[in-house]
Each structure stands twice: as structure tokens, then as C-alpha cells.
Amino acid sequence: MAKVKYQDTPVLIVGAGLSGLACAVTLAKAGVPFLLFDQAEKIGGRVQTDEVSGYRLDRGFQVLLTAYPEAQRFLDYEKLDLQACYPGSKVWFDNRFHRVADPIRHPMDGVKSLLTPIGTLGDKLRVGMMRMGLLSSKSMPDNCSTINALGEMGFGDSMINRFWKPFMRGVFLEDELSTTIRKFEETFRFFSTGDTVLPKKGIGEIPIQLAGELPQENILLGTKICKVDRDTIKSIDGNQWQGRAVVLATEDFHANQLLGLDQPNEEWNAVDCLYFSLPTTDLPSDEPILYLDGSGEGPINNLTFVSNLCSCSPPGQALASVSVIGKKDLDMEKIATLAMKQLFQWFGPMVKHWAYVKGYRIRQAVPSCPNPPIPTPALTRVFRCGDYFGLPSIDAAMKSGRLTAEHIIKEHNFLQVNGPRN
Ligand SMILES: Cc1cc2nc3c(=O)[nH]c(=O)nc-3n(C[C@H](O)[C@H](O)[C@H](O)COP(=O)(O)OP(=O)(O)OC[C@H]3O[C@@H](n4cnc5c(N)ncnc54)[C@H](O)[C@@H]3O)c2cc1C
């Protein structure tokens, strides 16, 4: 069979987040020319690490799960120098922290967890049964919320309020656990079958590694696209490109805007992420473990000393990443003050030496997902991809980008027949 020879007219990809990057890498590997555009000055979209006063701050606490199939496909884990979190957490309840451990990976800690007030003995057995596949929510409908499903599986209030709520809030980035049970199942499976990790230099290393596989001259940053036709895109500064196909790898609402489509009532889950620096001598522990608020008093939902995982602070200093969920009505200064009070309660007077470094208010973190998305057929020659095509995550974004690229590659007849138009 003759090898398909692609002509030079590129596929135009708008959006250099993980979906756009995965699309570009897939096309590049197949020899399909492409141009990748983003309005921002940096690739990565929602996955960013910023350098601020000697600290490396991830824009929101997010983690990679090594079991993600697309991450395994696209990323070189060794080069990312991945650092693993302890598979469990410390839960604040009744004025002290209680360790809750994965009973399969840390059986000894798991046994000790049986004695904590974080759930009843029956609840802990249920978790063990879930880990062994003996208890499952698979028969529940797609639109069943996680909170209802946990109740139906028999978990009691002490487990739901003290553990599941703070833990899953930190994953879903919404307060009520109204996210579909399918997302819970997927997350639980990935947490159970792999490690929860961060690249040593921060989450932003993931898009940097992907972009490293692409010719840099094909990436046009600081280029906001304002008009899209069948095979042509136009930037706000008046430049125009014609391609074989256009891929919108933007967030859903930006794609709708560019296509002039009605905006469905799109909801987003949000998070405020605050960073505090502290002398390394003040670190309560050098363990890379997640701290959760099981008391429900807040405002902090979860905290990680990220410097126990990453190279993210100057010598002598450690860094705490704090996530606050559902406090959109309070301004960041107020949240920082309330968070400090909570930290004082959690870690004692040494918190006086801690300093607020920076806060990120992320209003559009992940699309709300009360139902799994329904795949929609492509209606025009303009393709779309993004995390909103799946249960939103790093993995869903990369999968969607790859599938879109594979679809375009398969349609190489279209690529050849239509040819350049100018
Ligand atoms: C705080 C936070 C925590 C998270 N935690 C996790 C986690 O722990 N684990 C996990 O798996 N996932 C997590 N996620 C989700 C994950 O980061 C996203 O699902 C994923 O990065 C989305 O990638 P994307 O390519 O679909 O979209 P985006 O990253 O949003 O990329 C879209 C790109 O399109 C560009 N764009 C938009 N309009 C235009 C235009 N007109 N012209 C040019 N460019 C345009 C944007 O600038 C952007 O770069 C988290 C996200 C956030 C924000």
C-alpha cells in the first residue's frame, strides 16, 4: 500500500492545553503538519506552574495519577521525576489528626485506622470491600450523585462527613459531591491501581514535556483566535490561516463562542488555592501526605506540604498548598485570614512564622459533571476536543485530543482530496 503523503497545509489547533497538545503530538507522530495556537503566552492551559519570589507555585493543587492510561501513553514518567504522595491522609477531627491509610498498600497503618473515629468499623470494611471489588456502585444510574451513591452503598455519616466529603471535594472541586458516581468510580480505580504523584518541578512540567516533542516554530503563543470558518481561522490582530481542518481544543464555552453557537448553561467547579511559606524547621512532618478537614469547619478543605514532594521553595523554606472549596463569596484576603486561624488550630503557635505567599482564585477549574458527557457527532469540518468530552481530568483531556487527531488522520482522503485552496 502506498504511504500516504500529506501535503503541507497544516491542521490548525486552537488551544495549547493538554487536549490541544495531545492532538498536536499525535498528528506530529503521524507526519501530519499542524499549527498550534494559544491566546496565552505559555502552553499548558489549566496546568501551569508559576515562579513567584523564589517559589514554584502550581496554579491550583492538582495531581497526576500514574494509572491514567493516556498519561502512560504520552508521558515519560522517569524524566518527569515523579514524586509519590502517601496513599492515605491525615484527617482533622475532634481537635487532632487521625491517619487514614489504604488498607491494601499500608496494611499496618490500615489496621491502626480501624480505631479512628473516621467512620465506623463497618465503613472501614466497606472501603476494604470496594478495594477488593466486592462492593460496587456500578449498577447505579449515571445521573446518581456521588453523595447519594455513598449513602446507598451503606456508608454512615461519620465516614461520609469526615472522610469522603473532604477527600472527594478536593478531587471534584465542588462542595456537595453532586458529581456523577461514574467519576467517583473512575477516580477510586485510578487511586487504587497506581500512585498519586507530582513531577519534581511541579505540575507544569507535564505540558512542557508534551510540547518538547513538537517543533517549536509550529506553536504560536499570544495568538487569540476570534473567528473560525470551515478551514480558516483569524486572530484578533488580523492574521489569517487556512488549514486542512480546524480543531478547537479550547474550553467548551470558547469553542461555542468561536462557532457562534448558543451557550448552554455551563457550570464550572471552582477552587481557591493559597500558598503559605514556613521555615523548614516548622514543618510538622516531612511526609508527603494529604491533610483533610474532617470537622467541616473550614475554610481549608485540604492541605499538602508540597515542598515534601517537589523542589518548589528556596533553601530553608517549606511550602504549604491549601485548597478552599465553596467560599466564592469571601474575598481572598478574608479567606487567607480565616485559613491562618485554622492553621493555628491545626499546627499550633509556630504558624506565627508562616507567611502568605499568593492565592489563586480559579473559577473555572473543571466543568461540573453531574452526568457523564454524551458523545456528540462532529457536525462540521471543525473538530473539537477538551476535558469536557469525558469525566474531566488530565487523562480525559489528553484522550480527547488523541482521538480527535486519530479521527483526522483516518480521514486522510479528506486531507488529500480537498488539497490547498489558495
Ligand atoms: C485547580 C485545578 C485542579 C485540578 N486538579 C486535577 C487533578 O488533580 N487531576 C486531574 O486529572 N485533573 C485535574 N484538573 C483538571 C485538568 O487540569 C483539566 O481537565 C485539563 O487540564 C483540561 O485541559 P484542556 O486542554 O481540555 O483545557 P484547557 O487546559 O483549558 O486548555 C484550553 C486552552 O485553550 C486556550 N484558548 C481558549 N480560547 C482561545 C482562543 N480564542 N484563542 C486561542 N486560545 C484559546 C486557553 O488559553 C487554554 O490554554 C484540575 C484543574 C484545575 C484548574
Q: Are residues 291 and 319 in the same domain?
A: yes
Q: Whose CA is nearest to atom 37 of ligand 1?
A: 250
Ligand 1 and 62: CB distance under 6 A: yes
Ligand 1 centroid from CA 386, angstroms: 8
| pTM: predicted TM-score of the whole model, two decimal places | 0.94
* Statement to judge: residues 155 and 123 lie in one domain: yes
> How many other β-carbons are positioned within 10 Å of the β-carbon of residue 8?
7
d(CA 33, CA 161): 51
In a domain, 3, yes or no: no
In order along its 422 residues, the chain shows pLDDT tens digits of 334 444 578 999 999 999 999 999 999 999 999 999 999 999 999 999 999 999 999 999 999 999 999 999 999 999 999 999 999 999 999 999 999 988 778 777 777 778 899 999 999 999 999 999 999 999 999 999 999 999 999 999 999 999 999 999 999 999 999 999 999 999 999 999 999 999 999 999 999 999 999 999 999 999 999 999 888 999 999 999 999 899 999 999 999 999 888 777 779 999 999 999 999 999 999 999 999 999 999 899 999 999 999 999 999 999 999 999 999 899 999 999 999 999 999 999 999 999 999 999 999 999 999 998 876 655 567 999 999 999 999 999 999 999 999 999 988 654 443 333 22
Q: Residue 376: what pLDDT? A: 65
**Residue of minimum CA distance from atom 12 in ligand 1:** 393
Question: Domain range spanning residue 117?
Answer: 102-192
Question: Could you tell me if the CB of 46 is within 6 A of ligand 1?
Answer: yes
Nearest CA to ligand 1 atom 14: 393
Task: Determine the distance separating the centroid of ligand 1 and the alpha carbon of 15, expressed in angstroms.
Answer: 9
Query: How many distinct structural domains can be found in the chain?
Result: 3
CB of 45 within 6 A of ligand 1: the answer is yes
CB 268 within 8 A of CB 363: yes
Stated length of the chain: 422
Q: In what order do the strands lie in the sheet with 240-242?
A: 225-228, 232-235, 240-242
| 378, 241: one domain | yes
- At residue 115, the pLDDT reads 80
Contact at 8 Å (CB) between 16 and 38? yes
Q: Is the CB of 387 under 6 A from ligand 1?
A: yes
Tell me whether residue 67 is in a domain.
Answer: yes
Q: 143: which DSSP letter? A: T
Residue 378's pLDDT is 59
Q: From the CB of residue 67, how many other CB atoms can be counted at a distance below 10 Å?
A: 16
Pocket test for ligand 1, best of 394, 400, 403, 404 (most atoms within 8 A of CB): 394
CATH of the domain at 411: 3.50.50.60
- Please tell me whether residue 248 adopts helix, strand or coil conformation: strand
Q: Residue 420: is the preceding peptide bond cis (ω within 30°)?
A: no
508562616: which residue's cell?
Answer: 354
In whole angstroms, what is the distance from residue 42 CA to residue 150 CA? 40
Q: Which helix or strand (DSSP H or E) is residue 80 part of?
A: helix 77-80
| Same domain, residue pair 284 and 363 | yes
Residue 93 lies in a domain: no
Q: Is the CB of 155 under 6 A from ligand 1?
A: no
DSSP 164: I
Distance from the alpha carbon of residue 394 to the mean position of ligand 1, in angstroms = 8
Supply the residue whose CA is at minimum distance from atom 27 of ligand 1: 17
Q: How many angstroms separate the alpha carbon of residue 365 from the centre of ligand 1?
A: 7
Instruction: Establish whether residue 15 lines the binding site of ligand 1, counting it when its CB lies within 6 angstroms of any ligand atom.
Output: yes
Answer whether 228 contacts ligand 1 (Cβ < 6 A).
Answer: no
**C-beta separation of 342 from 300 below 8 A:** yes
What is the crossing angle of helices 165-172 and 181-193, to 10°?
A: 100
For residues 272 and 363, membership in a common domain is answered with yes
Q: Are residues 275 and 360 in the same domain?
A: yes
For residue 142, what is its C-alpha cell? 449515571
The finding on whether 19 has its CB within 6 A of some atom of ligand 1 is yes
One domain for residues 218 and 75: no
Taking the CA of residue 396 as reference, the ligand 1 atom at the shortest distance is 19
pLDDT of residue 106: 79
Residues 307 and 346 in one domain: yes
3-state secondary structure of 118: coil
Can you give the CATH number for the domain in which 299 is found?
3.90.660.20
